[in-house]
Structure 1
């Protein structure tokens, strides 16, 4: 009996490792599909009895394309198009000539030729790696298609997958039910307090840039939505840079207005939303969120910004459930 158990354990372990290697190239897209399926499952359960599981899943995938995949694809395209518009000489950069005169007057060093050389090397390096960019584009396209297909099947057959997982998990059903309930609560807490609040804060911050007529305001709004998910950092780098840009261009009144807008409207929006949507007992400490964001982003890429804090929250809830039933202490 022990030999059979050992053989089954080794076989399952080997197949699990091989399965992970198969999934690994697109792991970030798989995790993205799972996260989206979790968010959309309540809608799927409401729509499926009315129109059928397939039709409701297809409708929600189409909604995802309109609300998420489409804008992200457009954003990536704008970024890549912007690469071709990079200046080939540093003197083409805004406000460069005034900065160059100040440095030469104070330090006595001519920086123009050196910066031209650095910028030229940078643009030539981008051109040499255009094949790598094309390969990344193909990988991105395949990943998005995989995400959409997985999302469809997770919505349509997600309950079947959960029942199968519960059936093969060697834990009492009561323990499993508590684990799933705590995992669902922790995931929603992170999504509301980490993703939703950051998205709104980045959007509100972007409204200030748009109102002041700053260039590429839409692009920087998206950037702030991601930066707002990082504790301590937040939207301040972009708003600070925008303030400096306005000061350098002599728009002092607008710079002052942006500062006031940041410390009032943006700050109040952040504090009010967090108090409104987050239960203090279920929220993660800022240090845990920061560790989850940085660690998972390094390990998983961009999707780690979203799933990193969720993984740490699930670990915490799992330990608490096991401690309640099995007295781990």
Structure 2
């Protein structure tokens, strides 16, 4: 009996390692599919009794493509297409001439040749990596297709998957029920208090850039949404850079308006949403969120910004459930 148990454990361990190796190249897309399925699950529960599990899952995947995957894919395509349009000389950069004249008058230093050399080296390196960009594009396309297929089946067969997980998990059913309930509550708390607040704050900040005519305002709005998810950093770097840009271009009034807008509308939006959502529903400390964002982004890439805090929140809730039921204190 012991030999058979040991053989079964070794077999399961080997297959688990092989499964991880199979999933690892597309782990970020798998996690993104799981996250989207979790967010769309309440809608699936409402639609499935009316139109069926398959049709409701297909409708939600189509909606996801229209609202999320399509715009993201278009954004990535635009960014990649702009690589060929990068300036090859520093003199092509906006506002460069005025900055160059100021430096030369103040310090008597010629900066054009040095910057031309640095920028030329940078664009040459990008050109040499064109094959890498093409490979990344193929990987991105395959990953998106995988994400959509997984999202469809996760929505359609979610109940079957949960029943299987509960059946094979060697824990009492009441402990499992509490674990799933706490995990769902913790995940929603992080999504609302971390992702929702950052998205709204970044969008509101971007409206200020658009209204004041800052170049590439739509691109910077997306950047603001991601930066807002990072505690301590927030939207300040982009808003501060935009303010400096406006000052350098002689638009002093616009720069002042952006500063006032950031200190009033953006700050009030952030404080109000955090008081409404985070303080009531999430007990995850900002330091833990910061650790989750940085650590998971380093390990998983961009998707880690979203799932990192959720993983730490799930760990916290799991420890609390185990302590309660097994009296570990």
1:153-193 per-residue CA deviation (whole Å, 9 max, x = no partner) reads 00000110010000000000000000000000000000000
Which residue of structure 2 lines up, in the alignment, with residue 168 of structure 1? 168
Distance 1:281 1:3 in 2: 49
Deviation at 1:279, TM superposition (A): 4.5
Distance 1:147 1:327 in 2: 41
Normalising by structure 1, report the TM-score.
0.98
Distance 1:61 1:303 in 2: 19
Distance 1:283 1:272 in 2: 17
Preserved CA contact (<8 Å) 2:189 2:281:
no
Distance 1:279 1:94 in 2: 44
Which residue of structure 1 lines up, in the alignment, with residue 120 of structure 2? 120
Which residue of structure 2 lines up, in the alignment, with residue 18 of structure 1? 18
The secondary structure found in structure 2 opposite 1:278 is helix
Which residue of structure 1 lines up, in the alignment, with residue 48 of structure 2? 48
Which region of structure 1 is more displaced relative to structure 2, 104-113 or 184-193? 104-113
Which residue of structure 2 lines up, in the alignment, with residue 3 of structure 1? 3
Preserved CA contact (<8 Å) 1:193 1:283:
no
Distance 1:262 1:65 in 2: 32
Preserved CA contact (<8 Å) 1:183 1:317:
yes
Deviation at 1:101, TM superposition (A): 2.3
Deviation at 1:104, TM superposition (A): 2.6
Deviation at 1:2, TM superposition (A): 2.3
The secondary structure found in structure 1 opposite 2:157 is helix
Distance 2:281 2:184 in 1: 15
1:16-58 per-residue CA deviation (whole Å, 9 max, x = no partner) reads 1110000000000000000000000110011001000000000
Deviation at 1:4, TM superposition (A): 2.1
Structure-to-structure mapping, 1:179-328, within 5 angstroms: 179-280=179-280, 282-328=282-328
1:240-296 per-residue CA deviation (whole Å, 9 max, x = no partner) reads 000000100111111111001001100110111112223446331110000000000
Distance 1:180 1:279, change over 3 A: farther
Count residues in correspondence.
329
Preserved CA contact (<8 Å) 1:190 1:283:
no
Structure 2 portions without partners, runs of 5+ = none
The secondary structure found in structure 1 opposite 2:110 is coil
* 1:134 maps onto 2:134 in alignment: yes
Structure-to-structure mapping, 1:39-188, within 5 angstroms: 39-188=39-188
Which residue of structure 2 lines up, in the alignment, with residue 37 of structure 1? 37
Preserved CA contact (<8 Å) 1:200 1:225:
yes
Distance 2:282 2:255 in 1: 38
Preserved CA contact (<8 Å) 1:201 1:270:
yes
Distance 1:107 1:326 in 2: 71
Runs of 4+ deviating beyond 4 Å: none
Distance 1:280 1:15 in 2: 43
Q: How big is the alpha-carbon RMSD for the aligned residues of Structure 1 and Structure 2?
A: 1.0
Preserved CA contact (<8 Å) 1:90 1:115:
yes
Structure 1 portions without partners, runs of 5+ = none
Distance 2:305 2:281 in 1: 22
Distance 2:279 2:169 in 1: 30
Deviation at 1:6, TM superposition (A): 1.9
